[in-house]
Copies of this chain bind each other. A is one copy, B any other.
Amino acid sequence: MTMTQASDDGPAGRRPGAALTARQRARDQITREIKEEARRQLAAQGAQRLSLRAVARELGMVSSALYRYFPSRDDLLTALIIDAYDALGASAEAAVARRPGAGGRARWRACCHAIRDWAIASPHEYALIYGSPVPGYQAPPETIDSAARVAVAFAGILAGAPLRSPGPDDDRPLPGLLAGQAEKLSQDIARAGAPPAPASARLAPGVPPPVMARALVAWTQLFGMISFELFGQLVGSADPADDFFGYAVEQMADFVGLPA
């Protein structure tokens, strides 16, 4: 919560671990309540109907009081976005961490399903972060760390798993800019390191660029599928989508070269 007034640690800022004053505890509590209520409205009506006045009303406060906690509506939105990214990232991380001895493919499966499950359970929060951008809203840089978590968890699976050479055409160089993009991503992943991976994985040379390119395809496929399901685009074809999703996850695992 970088945007609340009290948390930009000034001269009298609170040190981590220090005992909190009653005022601080109340402030933290109410900040939480505001976000909870905002999330409730988000779930009920979507992001653009989120209104400070309605949140305040529901909390029994006067609307101007919210400005003690969030300097503007956009800052409240930003807080929700960060929380959503963090919740999704935590789900993916937990799904992987829950299977310490499992092979790469089992972790891949777990991660993909965790992402979908979270999206289905929180469709409006999913739409907030992966749906059409809210016009006039610019996501501030504070969001990027949280946004990266799920991608790091996803790619970390490949970084830590043995891969068979996926296709006969992967000797061919990647086309144009994609070569450099895949290369850079591989290095980023190696640098970020999958949190639950052992030291050996961190020393691994990362994911080979051809695999990284395939992983990018799988990545966009995963979210494309989830978005289509949530946004009603599969009605009349693959709805309900559970089996289709499971099938696609396996196909994509093959596609990136995870052995069965």
CB neighbors of B among A215-260 (8 A): 216-217, 220-225, 227-228, 231-233, 236-240, 242-244, 246-248, 251-252, 254-255
Given A214-B251, A220-B221, A222-B224: A244 in contact with B133 (beta carbons within 8 A):
no
Q: Tell which of A134, A135, A167, A213 has the most Cβ of chain B within 10 Å.
A: A135
Task: State which of A25-33, A60-68, A175-183 sits at the interface with chain B.
Answer: A175-183
Asked if residues B213 and A217 are in contact (CB atoms below 8 Å), the reply is no
Which residues of B sit under 8 angstroms from A247, Cβ to Cβ?
174-175, 178, 213, 217
Q: How far is the CB of A192 from chain B (nearest CB, A)?
A: 12
Report if A238-B131 is in contact (Cβ < 8 Å); known contacts: A175-B243, A175-B246, A223-B228. Answer: no
A174 to B244, CA, bound (A): 9
Name the B residues within 8 Å of A144 (CB-CB). 236
Known: A46-B135, A176-B243; 4 extra A-B contacts, CB below 8 A, are A176-B246, A177-B240, A224-B228, A251-B255
By a CB distance below 8 angstroms, the chain B residues around A38 are: none
Across the interface, A248 reaches (CB within 8 A) one of B45, B217, B233, B242, namely B217
Q: Given A135-B49, A244-B178, is A217 in contact with B221 using a C-beta cutoff of 8 Å?
A: yes
Chain B residues with CB under 8 Å of A200's CB are none
Residue A136 CB within 8 A of the other chain: yes
The 9 A-B residue pairs with the shortest CB-CB distance, nearest first, are A224-B224, A131-B132, A176-B243, A46-B135, A221-B221, A127-B132, A178-B243, A220-B225, A220-B224
**Assembled-state Cα–Cα distance A237/B151 (Å):** 11
Chain B nearest CB from A48 CB (Å) reads 5
